[in-house]
Amino acid sequence: MLTKRIIPCLDVTLDRAGGCVVKGIEFVNLKEAGDPVELAKRYNEEGADELVFLDITASAHGRETMIDVIERTADEVFIPLTIGGGINSIDAIRQILRAGADKVSINTAAVKNPDFIKEASDIFGAQCIVTAIDCRRNLDVENNPDKTILELEDGTPAWYEVVIYGGREATGIDAVEWARKAEELGSGEILLTSMDRDGTCAGYDLPITRKLSEELDIPIIASGGVGNPQHIYEGFSIGKADAALAASIFHFREYSIREVKEYLKERGILVRL
């Protein structure tokens, strides 16, 4: 059995010198959480298995700044580093990997042009390509009989709709079908974020997490909603995720990565300590 991974996520905004890590609720109401390189160093020392940086500004100027952040981080940490946010070309992927990243996360560009996943996977290898899927619950099941209908915690039927541009635009695409397609096209992992849970500290969206974990052969990274170690345990035990992404509980020192891993180990989850 593979060990479960704990992955701190750093949302980086680059509208000031050097960048700043921020955290919000459902991708808005952002508050500052610290310097990305310093936070990355701390998580490396605490025993994080990987790190994810999401460039939430992702402008052309921001991309240049992000390369500097990646290079400085890669010099300081020795765990896999995934970079996402506005990546829409092979050249951008090449720049990011050359700067020291191990993987890239692609989202909106992949939805707009699914063949981008295949092209990137063919060039750089599936192990470098993470498809990020942001989704929202959609309770309109009567008019969407072709969608994958899941039962929510209270028994309500719903399907999960892919959203893009940081959750601002609904696509009408079924998240389960899109995840299957991303795997077929050569994605090495799925980073699944529930927009309904992002920043709420209410726990992962377990129905969709479990569905993708059972349906796909590639790893599923659960994201959105962690408020305590119990939520991460549920992401693994109920959601069957391969990795757990979290931000606020680590950024603001509510829990250390070591504390979370010890909590998981006590409950029979295989982690690297």
Residue 217 is among the residues annotated as catalytic for this protein: no
Beta bridge partners of 223: 193
Residue 15 is among the residues annotated as catalytic for this protein: no
Q: Which of 35, 49, 55, 134 is catalytic?
A: 134
β 129-138/189-194 pair status: parallel
Beta bridge partners of 137: 160
Say how far apart CA 65 and CA 83 lie, in whole Å: 13
Active site (catalytic) residues: 11, 134
